[in-house]
Amino acid sequence: MEASNPADDFIPAALAAFGVEADEIELAVMRAAHELFWPPILELLALDTGAVAPEPAPDLSQAPPSR
Amino acid sequence: MSEALDLSLRAQAAAIAAGEVDAAELLEAALARIEARNPAINAVVATFPEHSREMLAAAPAGPLHGVPVVVKDEWPLPWRAQRFGAADMLVTPVPGESGPYRALRDAGAVIVGVGNMHELGASSTGNVSVYGPARNPWNPERCPGGSSSGPAAAVAARLVAGAVGADGIGSIRYPAAYCGLTGLKPTFGRSAMAGHHMADISTTIVSGPLCADAGDCRLLGSVLFGEELRAGEAQGLRIGVIRDEVSEDVAPAVREACEAAIEDLRRENGGEVREIDLPELAAATLATVLIANSESLGGVTPQRLNDLAPELSPLGRGLLKYRLMLPAAATVKAHQVRTMARQRLAEVFADVDVIAWPTVPAVAPPLEAPIVELPSGTLTADAANVRGGALANLTGIPSISVPVGSSEGLPVALQLQAAWGHDELLLDAAEALERANGRRWVDAAPPMARAEPSEA
């Protein structure tokens, strides 16, 4: 039996949970986006950033304060 | 008078100030040229001759007195709301005095048209828009770049000498690269931003100039910054390069031209090239996409998504709905990555003055199929371009795209990035590069930009 694409389950389920409707073309777009974005999202989630405290309100016009 | 349209932005301003060119005649010539050339490229999606004439009549004696310019369809004007290249937006746009409008008005410039853009600013290609795609003046079957597609195509076709774009993830630099222009993404917060529909929530978007060369970007940038961007020499420039996919997974002709340009720049300024390391770059790219796409979600409801106008492209509808599924934990991580990248860059800029890599890894792809062939394989242009364009938006640093070569009859571009607030240094470096290559690439114009007798 062929393994199903996770996006085939995830996207319709997520849309249903949010109460958002989508036609077949939109679903195809979302599947393509999911294939592109989800693997790096999982990599990002696996990144150990525990020691990094985000700048609370970064002033992006300047360098960050010295550590 | 149409010859005056082929002058640089600063030469047009100087000629008007000296009484050598009549601003009213120049405005009419610009309108006539748009009428003649625009149908082939769809760069300008709205003109409003009466408003333009009123602007000229009221124009103060500023640095751009009487000079025609185009603004992207992302900036509201008093007589026209932006459409963001789309049949529907998540907010209701209204006419008004945006920051770029005020800056241009107060400088004496004349807004002669609105430039096309990629729908919702959502791509580096410019191949989808409610107005139909803009086309690349170097080859109308190729993408002009996005999302500031129309402003870039308008300047490349010499409809005007300067245009104002917006850059949230490379959206000034990608079209500058594809169209052979110089495009400056300013330090975050340094250029006019008021009136943008995301001005209060975006941490990535800035306004910036698209012009033929760095001198014109300096002039238009000074207007948008509200301060003079003074020229310097950039002597002894320390140029940072990275051995990573952003500089190596690149079409051979692009890599060759960019490496030659880096060497030209080093030699011109008696500088040096240093290898740097940015291990956060890949994560920074995704972090930028996550942050930029989540910042617009505050006004989103499921019902609003169900009510999107059917005229919005299926791509736009699908991507807007997909944003709901971005995990919050990933966005939190993205902010941590932003901090890591900013801290790393602060260390890197202690050792180098600029970081250089190709603006985009391949020349403009076909409008009908915006994919690129790279050493690693076939990628969508968006997936390939974002690797090099996102870091500046994530961290706030300034960045400039400069034309440095040609392949397949299409422009090739190098991107330079500098530390926060060093926008002037980027312009200095771009001018040094122009001197080093004899202005070969900034003076190159596509065939359609050659003046036609019927336009005289």
Question: Does the pLDDT at position B454 exceed 70?
Answer: no
Place of tokens 């994560």: B283
And the tokens for A57?
A: 């309100």
* Paired sense of beta strands B410-418 and B354-358, if any: antiparallel
Say which residue the tokens 């245009």 belong to: B163
Number of other residues whose CB lies within 10 A of the CB of residue B443: 12
Per-residue pLDDT, B197 = 95
Q: Residues B124, B130, B131, B133: is their CA dihedral positive or negative?
A: positive
Beta strand ranges found along B339-438 (DSSP E): 354-358, 371-374, 377-380, 399-407, 410-418
Nearest CA in chain A to B190: A61
Angle at B429 between CA B424 and CA B432, to 5 degrees: 130
Inspect the interface and report whether the beta carbons of B318 and A25 lie closer than 8 Å: yes
Q: A19 CA to chain B: closest CA distance, Å?
A: 6
CA distances from B141 to B144, B272, B379 (A): 9, 40, 19
pLDDT digits (tens, 9 = 90+) for B6-35: 999 999 999 999 999 999 999 999 999 999
The residue among B322, B379, B386 with the most chain A CBs within 10 A of its CB, best to mutate, is B322
Interchain CB contact of A48 with B (< 8 Å):
no
Please write the tens of the pLDDT for every residue from B366-378. Answer: 999 999 999 999 9
Q: Are B278 and B247 in contact (CB under 8 A)?
A: no
What single string gives the DSSP state of each residue in B96-137?
---HHHHHHHHTT-EEEEEE---GGG--SS----TT----BT
Question: Tell me: the pLDDT tens digits for B189-219?
Answer: 999 999 999 999 999 999 999 999 999 999 9
Nearest chain B residue to A54 by CA distance is B336
Sheet holding B238-242, edge to edge: B44-46, B110-115, B68-72, B162-167, B206-211, B182-185, B399-407, B410-418, B354-358, B238-242, B272-276
d(CA B41, CA B202): 30
Decide if B396 and A36 are in contact by the 8 Å CB cutoff.
no
- The amino acid sitting at B209 is P
CA–CA separation, B402 and B311 (whole Å): 36
B contact residues 267-286, partner A, Cβ 8 Å cutoff = 282-283, 286
Per the structure, the count of domains in chain A is 1
B232-262 pLDDT tens trace: 988 999 999 999 999 999 999 999 999 999 9
User: Which B positions 314-333 lie with beta carbon below 8 A of chain A?
Assistant: 314-315, 317-319, 321-322, 324-327, 329-330, 332-333
pLDDT of residue A55: 84
The model's pLDDT over B145-193, given as tens digits with 9 standing for 90+, comes to 999 999 999 999 999 999 999 999 999 999 999 999 999 999 999 999 9
Say if residues B289 and B390 touch (Cβ distance below 8 Å). yes
Name the DSSP letter for residue B184. Answer: E
Q: What is the pLDDT of residues B80-106, one digit of tens each?
A: 999 999 999 989 999 999 999 999 999
Question: Shortest CB distance from A21 goes to which of B306, B333, B380?
Answer: B306
- The verdict on residue A27 lying in a domain is yes
Contact B373, B251 (CB under 8 A): yes
How many CA atoms, within 13 angstroms, populate the side-chain half-sphere of residue B154? 37
Q: Phi and psi dihedrals of B283, rounded to 5?
A: -65, -35
Average pLDDT value for chain B = 96
Spatial contact of B279 and B244, defined as CB atoms under 8 Å apart:
no
Half-sphere exposure of B344 (CA within 13 A, CB side): 20
Low-confidence ranges of chain A (pLDDT < 70): 1-7, 67
Give me the CATH topology for the region B2-288+318-455: Amidase signature (AS) enzymes (3.90.1300)
Among residues 388-417 of chain B, which lie with CB inside 8 Å of chain A? 395-396
What does the domain layout of chain B look like in residue ranges? 2-288+318-455
- Say yes or no: B93 contacts chain A, CB-CB below 8 A: no
Query: pLDDT value at position A3?
Result: 47
**Burial track B121-140 (b if 16+ CB lie within 10 A, e otherwise):** bbbbbbbbbbbebbbbbbbb
Backbone phi and psi for residue B118, each to the nearest 5 degrees, phi listed first: -65, 140
CA distance A7 to B116: 34
Position B230 scores a pLDDT of 98
- Over residues B393-404, the mean pLDDT reads 98
B316, B119 Cβ separation under 8 angstroms:
yes
Has residue A62 been placed in a domain? no
> Is position A59 within any domain?
no
pLDDT value, residue A5:
66
The per-residue pLDDT for B297 is 86
Helix (H, G, I), strand (E, B) or coil at B266: helix
Question: Among partner residues B190, B339, B345, which is closest to A61 by beta-carbon distance?
Answer: B190
Output the six-digit token pair for B119.
């729908």
Contacts of B380 in chain A (CB under 8 A): 36
Mean pLDDT of the region B51-68: 98
Read off the pLDDT band of B456 (50, 70, 90).
Answer: very low
Q: In whole angstroms, give the CA distance from residue B171 to residue B390.
A: 10
Active-site annotation holds for B407: no
- Distance (Å) from the alpha carbon of A2 to chain B's nearest alpha carbon: 26
Among the listed residues B257, B217, B265, B215, the one whose alpha carbon sits nearest the alpha carbon of residue B240:
B265
Contact B327, B333 (CB under 8 A): no
Angle CA(B126)–CA(B132)–CA(B133) in degrees, nearest 5? 25
At B450 the pLDDT is 76
Which one-letter DSSP state was computed for residue B139? Answer: B
Percentage of residues in chain B having pLDDT higher than 70: 98
Q: Where are the beta strands (DSSP E) in B118-196?
A: 162-167, 182-185
Position B166: which residue type?
Answer: A
Six-digit token pair at B110?
């004349």
Could you read off the pLDDT of B298-317 as tens digits, one per residue? 889 999 999 999 999 999 99
For an interface test with A, give the residue of B290, B325, B343 to mutate (most A CBs within 10 A): B325
pLDDT reported for residue A54:
80
Q: Using CB atoms, which residue from B326, B346, B383 is nearest to A64?
A: B346
Residue numbers in B near A38 (CB within 8 A): none
Whether residue A35 is contained in a domain is answered as yes
Domain extent for A11: 6-46
pLDDT digits (tens, 9 = 90+) for B406-435: 999 999 999 999 999 999 999 999 999 999
How far apart are alpha carbons B128 and B115 in whole angstroms? 14
Task: Report whether B369 contacts B254 (CB < 8 A).
Answer: no
d(C-alpha B89, C-alpha B83), whole Å: 8
B72 is known as an active-site residue: yes
Question: Which residues lie closer than 8 Å to B342 by C-beta, 6 or more apart?
Answer: A55, A58, A63, A64, B395, B396
pLDDT per residue over B333-368, tens digit each?
999 999 999 999 999 999 999 999 999 999 999 999
Residues paired with B373 in a beta bridge: B378
Question: Is A63 inside any structural domain?
Answer: no
